[in-house]
Amino acid sequence: VLIYGNTQQKTLEVVYDGTRRMLGFRTGGCT
């Protein structure tokens, strides 16, 4: 598998929605 690791996730807000089976991203999520 391709694995999207944590270095590339830095500063993004990563949203897991297990009920809707969706994954969200927002840049600048830590500020």
**Interface with another protein by CB under 8 A: which residues?**
1-19, 21-27, 29-31
Helix (H, G, I), strand (E, B) or coil at 22: strand
Q: Is 28 left (phi over 0), alpha (psi -120 to 50) or beta?
A: left
Q: Give the shortest CB-16-to-another protein separation in angstroms.
A: 5
CB of 27 to another protein, least distance (A): 6
The HSE-up count of residue 14 (CA atoms within 13 Å, CB side) is: 8
* Residue 31 beta carbon to another protein: minimum distance, rounded to whole angstroms: 7
